[in-house]
Amino acid sequence: MAVAAAGAAGPVFWRRLLGLLPGRPGLAALLGRLSDRLGRNRDRRRRRSPWLLLAPLLSPAVPQVTSPPCCLCPEGVHRFQWIRNLVPEFGVSSSHVRVLASPAEFFELMKGQIRVAKRRVVMASLYLGTGPLEQELVDCLESTLEKSLQAKFPSDLKVSILLDFTRGSRGRKNSRTMLLPLLQRFPEQVRVSLFHTPHLRGLLRLLIPERFNETIGLQHIKVYLFDNSVILSGANLSDSYFTNRQDRYVFLQDCAEIADFFTELVDAVGDVSLQLQGDDTVQVLDGMVHPYKGDRAEYCKAANKRVMDVINSARTRQQMLHAQTFHSNSLLTQEDAAAAGDRRPAPDTWIYPLIQMKPFEIQIDEIVTETLLTEAECGAKVYLTTGYFNLTQAYMDLVLGTRAEYQILLASPEVNGFFGAKGVAGAIPAAYVHIERQFYSEVCSLGQQERVQLQEYWRRGWTFHAKGQFTGTWRPRLRS
């Protein structure tokens, strides 16, 4: 019902948005272009429908595996092993994987893990909020660092925090001011890096006001790491994500190789970011190109190399480990391994960290997602969930052009984080509903409403931020 009402008001909505922005011509022009694009999509819909059948043929081919499936190793029986040609492949036991159910569980687990950390705490997020719960988290870090100084032996504990520069600098009280006491008290143990997109520079950087400058580009990694345990999530370090904003959280316990990889990845992005100083200024590392004052092409090239070196070195390490584990002439039985002191359970779960940093020409997540959607055959089920429904044209064509069943879960307008906000931000939920209705109209015009189903999450007093993709019930297919 909400979909139909908001969708019918779509053109009116865009005109009202443009009318609210007399003093912001740049943003008005941006919204105008978006409005034109939506209009063109409507006009194009009738013409393109027959061509949707060709969508899988026009998409990227599945990257070829470097060797045929192996009957010795566990991943020889699954069809996702090609991903290890792009990123490192980590095998873990499912007994080390736990899916958290609630924001409160996520918050309490983070605090508990910080308290017992001995070697490293690594936290990457869009921003750190400024409320009492966020202060509780900072106090927990401070207490753990204080204990590390009081230990009998010199502590190796390091705390590394990666945030986005524009979001983390918003307002007088912000992420930076929340973390300054830690930097000032523990300068040798704490590092705070603030990623600044290379696209926000020059006059653009001077003219676009706070909040709106965040639309140019952001640091959006969400990983929380404590010694050898990792929480992968979409949640930010803010009070609503600790109380009443539903997100996803996967806890990987005692997975040293994965923890090492994410430590190196966050360090790499941190190295190409601005470093927060104890006086609230920022600096670049020696020898690093400045993200918005230096040459953009040179900066992006350096950043690409720094990040890809981490990905490729980890991929090489994991391939060597795989060969030693499954292809060595001296393979140990599980009993022999246990007798030798290796009590880790055999891996039955395979983890592939996908990276997307388009300014640095790193589009691994995009390649893998398009390939998975392309390969989704008749009989497969694909589950997609997002807090903000705005499929790219390529993803939309693949959803409409393949034969798999799709269940798409998205936020209802009332549980969108922008619902009820003042000014332009308050109109954002209606914009997403308009896009959703436009997409569903196309589903119906193609007679695919049984195959592609949309559902809206609603819970009184909560918001919804979960994002992810799951593909199941695959039919095996042999390739010649």
Catalogue the active-site residues.
220, 222, 227
- Between the CA of residue 98 and those of 23, 215, 230, 254, what are the distances in Å? 50, 34, 11, 12
The SS3 of residue 28 is: helix
Taking the CA of residue 142 as centre, how many other CA atoms within 13 Å lie in the half-sphere pointing to its CB? 14
Q: Could you give phi then psi for residue 360, rounded to 5 degrees?
A: -100, 15
Helix (H) or strand (E) holding 454: strand 452-457
* CA–CA separation, 372 and 382 (whole Å): 9
**Cα angle at 19 between 14 and 21, to 5 degrees?**
105
State how far the alpha carbon of 101 is from the alpha carbons of 106, 109, 259, 378, 471, in Å.
8, 12, 22, 31, 20
E strands of 227-307, at which residues? 229-233, 245-246, 249-252, 274-276, 282-283
Give the whole-angstrom CA distance, residue 56 versus residue 373.
Answer: 8
Distance, in Å, from the CA atom of 382 to the CA atom of 398, rounded to the nearest integer, reads 12
Asked if residue 278 lies in contact with residue 184, where contact means CB atoms within 8 angstroms, the answer is yes
Q: What angle do the packed helices 10-19 and 25-48 form, to 10 degrees? A: 160
C-beta separation of 247 from 480 below 8 A? no
By the 8 A CB rule, do 311 and 88 touch?
yes
Q: How far apart, in whole angstroms, are the C-alpha atoms of residue 120 and residue 88?
A: 22
Which among 200, 124, 209, 467 is positioned nearest to 359, based on CA atoms?
A: 200
Question: Long-range CB contacts (< 8 A, 24+ apart) of 334-337?
Answer: none
- Asked if 337 and 394 touch (Cβ cutoff 8 Å), the reply is no
Pairwise CA distance, residues 77 & 19, whole Å: 58
Could you tell me the two tokens for 361? 């020409």
Question: Hey, what long-range contacts does 36-39 have (CB within 8 A, 24 or more apart)?
Answer: 38/10, 38/14, 38/434, 38/435, 38/438
Measured between alpha carbons, how far is 224 from 252 in angstroms, rounded to an integer?
A: 10
Q: If 0-12 CB within 10 Å is exposed, 13-18 middle and 19+ buried, where does residue 220 land?
A: middle
